[in-house]
Structure 1
Amino acid sequence: MAPDDLQRYHRRDLLRLAGLAAGAAALPVACRTTTSTADAPHLSDPATETVAATTATQPEGRVARAGTSRVVLVKTDDRVAGTRKALDLLQPDGISGKTVFLKPNYNTGDPAPAATDTALLEALIQELQNAKAGQISLGDRSGMAETRQAMQTKGVFKLAERYGVNAIVFDELKAEDWQYFPAEGTHWSKGFAFARPVLNAGAVVNTCCLKTHRFGGHFTLSLKNSVGMAAKYVPGDSYNYMNELHSSPHQRLMIAELNQAYKPALVLLDGVEALVNGGPEAGTKVKSGVILAGTDRVAVDVVAIGILRSFGTTEAISRGSVWQLEQIRRAVELGLGASNQEQIEIVSADSASRIMADQIRKYIVA
């Protein structure tokens, strides 16, 4: 077998195996950083995983113990290679044999980090198909652009045709393609409507960018990327849900609240470049050089905020504990993910990634 074929064979097998993305022993201080070995044994029996996690001979980074969420950190300037490596390390579960909805970030059609990089998206689709995913759909609703135009600019429809992916423009959905969620227990005055193609999928993959948000969100990571799954208008319903969101003093709480509608099987965050000020479509850009992957959207966002803080970012993001930032605090209250730094394990596979993980650890303490 050729080396490239062998590498893809191993990668495909890794993605098919049982996910080890959530779970690891509680950490004594801040978050624990582990280094994964490329030739670590594969485990597919959950019972075996539980036992193996307690043995001294089990390689670190492959098995997570109960109670923590693993966030893979890959230090890289190559989005495609970084995506493949992150998924190799994470081994996400819940993909094989299931229909998948893939949510990119097309707030506009601008280059990354303003919007999802097309080469990264293609690599992610390839990996999902290698993992024996069923039918893949992808879609979005732009906030600052015309959605179809943004997706055309990014080459999404051509990419979808090449791989047999169903591309959906949420603005063009019919009324019956939206599901209403009630206002009770939220800061939404009339509740919100969520796209049924997302809700009907067997697995949801959220791929987002690393950036700030100057229109009240403060930061736009995986929690904020979910806003594109919610309606601005539902046909036959004149209410502007996005106008309410962006004019509300509770915007950041509302962002977390609409995330109750679904649970991701995978979050992939492109931090090869970041907007540390301004955003979401333009601002101060830095070469942050990282890809993150996990299944816990709160844990991924917390680590991503740590990276923003390490490069110097807005006062709104920098002040106080990361756990008291409103998006994060409300998501924790709603049980959407990790509730403190001791529940996050950062997994890396090389010295450069480990050094970066160690550097950001101080930024995510309570």
Structure 2
Amino acid sequence: MPAGNRSKVYVIKTDDRAKGVNLLLKYFSLDALSGKRVAIKANFNSADPFPASTHLDTLSAIIDALKDNAAGIVMPERSGMGITRVVLREMGVTDLAKKQGFDIVILDELKSGDWIKENPEGSHWARGFLFPRVFKEADAIVQTCCLKTHRFGGNFTMSLKNSVGMVAKYDPDDGYNYMGELHSSKYQRLMIAEINTAYKSAFVIMDGIKAFSNGGPEAGKLIEPGIMIGSVDRVAIDATGVAVLRSFGTTPEISGGSVFQLEQIKRAADLGIGARGYNDMEIIPVNKDAEDICSGIEKELRREVQAKT
């Protein structure tokens, strides 16, 4: 792939979330969001503190930046380990929405007409999945995700896995349990990738100031990479996150082989969601302190290229 077409992944070494978000967002075209309705997907799967959930400072900084451009901001959410409305209240999101003037949509409370059936070609979902109309009708979708492992079959939960919180748990017409299907399937990681065909990202911000290197999604071994990462490409940003976890020591499911052969990432790449390998990516340090980290990420991602030569 020509260098100019590579998916750029920006990495900043920082423990200041507002500074990190603002510096990363300089690399994305926020002017393109002017006058548009923007939907943001955060990670509030449970009422457990960061890195189990999106840090409120990260969400606040992103909302502040969007407010200068977007005509309106909505945050649809569905928690997997708790009642969504309660989780958002306990995590301070409800108060933040009132303070910063953005809307919250509780996906669990949507009716039949609020969903659109998605069934991508070659899907491993038995009957497709339901995707919210509120995301489909947004002019742009942005995402902020955490950096962590997932012990319930996803293996890791970053940008691609965060998209699971967009899908209906139950069909409001017949009660079909989509999450029951997902979590009981041997194709779970492929199905996670397939959800991502339903939308495109304006950009993704990953908060890796702290992370879980095993366990997850709500608790695990805490590590402190001290970084934030930004990209338009969900595959590239997840591959970068996996490389970071490997540098700290992580689970056997994540550690072995090429990053781009891990099922979530490979399936997403095969579906055209993002980069297909290291040669499709460019890792860019935003500040000098991130240079060594980026070198380590590149070294890990190059393993597959070196194995083929």
Task: Assess same fold via TM > 0.5.
Answer: yes
Q: Quote the residue 1:119 is aligned against.
A: 57
* Greater displacement, 105-114 / 345-354: 345-354
Q: Secondary structure at the match of 1:236?
A: coil
Q: TM-score, normalised by structure 1?
A: 0.81
Q: Secondary structure at the match of 1:337?
A: coil
How many residues are treated as equivalent by the alignment? Answer: 303
1:255-287 deviation digits (Å, cap 9, x = unpaired): 000110001111110100000000000000111
State how 1:162-201 maps to structure 2 within 5 Å: 162-182=99-119, 184-201=121-138
Between Structure 1 and Structure 2, whose CA radius of gyration is higher?
1
Q: Secondary structure at the match of 1:271?
A: strand
User: Does residue 244 of the first structure (1) align with residue 186 of the second (2)?
Assistant: no
Q: CA deviation at 1:92?
A: 5.1
Q: Name the CA distance, whole Å, in 2 between partners of 1:352 and 1:182.
A: 44
User: Does residue 232 of the first structure (1) align with residue 172 of the second (2)?
Assistant: no
Counterpart AA for 1:287: E
Q: Secondary structure at the match of 1:224?
A: helix
1:131-158 deviation digits (Å, cap 9, x = unpaired): x112100021111111111100111111
Q: Name the CA distance, whole Å, in 2 between partners of 1:117 and 1:322.
A: 27
Counterpart AA for 1:148: R
CA contact (8 A) 1:183 1:190 kept: no
Q: Secondary structure at the match of 2:36?
A: coil
Q: Quote the residue 1:40 is aligned against.
A: none
Q: Name the CA distance, whole Å, in 2 between partners of 1:297 and 1:207.
A: 11
1:190-230 deviation digits (Å, cap 9, x = unpaired): 11000111111000011100000000000000000000000
Percentage of identical aligned residues: 49
Q: Secondary structure at the match of 1:335?
A: coil
Q: Quote the residue 2:10 is aligned against.
A: 72
CA contact (8 A) 2:9 2:229 kept: yes
- Mind listing any 5+ residue stretches in structure 2 that lack a counterpart? 305-309
1:37-56 deviation digits (Å, cap 9, x = unpaired): xxxxxxxxxxxxxxxxxxxx
Q: Name the CA distance, whole Å, in 1 between partners of 2:39 and 2:180.
A: 26
Q: CA deviation at 1:91?
A: 4.2
Q: Runs in 1 of length 4+ with deviation above 6 angstroms?
A: none
Counterpart AA for 2:62: L
* Greater displacement, 205-214 / 157-166: 157-166
Q: Name the CA distance, whole Å, in 1 between partners of 2:294 and 2:104.
A: 35
Counterpart AA for 1:159: L
Q: 2:23 aligns with which of 64, 85, 96?
A: 85
Q: Name the CA distance, whole Å, in 2 between partners of 1:332 and 1:302.
A: 11
Q: Secondary structure at the match of 1:157?
A: helix
Q: Name the CA distance, whole Å, in 1 between partners of 2:35 and 2:23.
A: 22
Q: Name the CA distance, whole Å, in 1 between partners of 2:191 and 2:111.
A: 24
Q: TM-score, normalised by structure 2?
A: 0.95
State how 1:295-310 maps to structure 2 within 5 Å: 295-310=232-247
